[in-house]
Amino acid sequence: MTAGMTHEFTLESSAVSSDTQIVAVGGAVALYEARELERCVVAGIAQGRTRVVLDLVDVTEVGPGLLGVLLRVRRGVTRIEGALALVVVGPPVSDLVATTLLGGLIQVTGDRAQALALVGAAHRSHAAE
């Protein structure tokens, strides 16, 4: 991997526990990429991972579609009594949070461990066993 910012889209999903997933996104997120993100989260939810952390720290550009996907994921997770948290540390995603209602609708933090705590990963994963 080269040093510096990259605009190439990356998407990585990992199961933290039987009911928790982390989806890390990087690069430029336009409409197609936002839909890929949504499909990835929905696939995890279908496998029972209803506690979702979206790590958006490495997002370099926000295009059309990301706001809608984040709101749809929130609605879907809420309907099944799951939880959602975003990991955001700066622009451009922090600008999206600041200029929309996202911060009032979705838990936002700058740290992945804190995001896991916000969705109740440690408490829920132990209780699910």
Domain residue ranges in the chain: 10-128
> pTM of the full predicted structure?
0.89
Within a 10 A sphere around the Cβ of 13, how many other Cβ atoms?
A: 16
Residue 121 banded pLDDT, cuts 50, 70, 90 = confident
Two tokens, residue 71: 């709101």
Taking domain 10-128, whether its CATH number is 3.30.750.24 is answered by yes
CA atoms within 13 A on the CB side of 123: 6
Mean pLDDT confidence for 93-116:
95
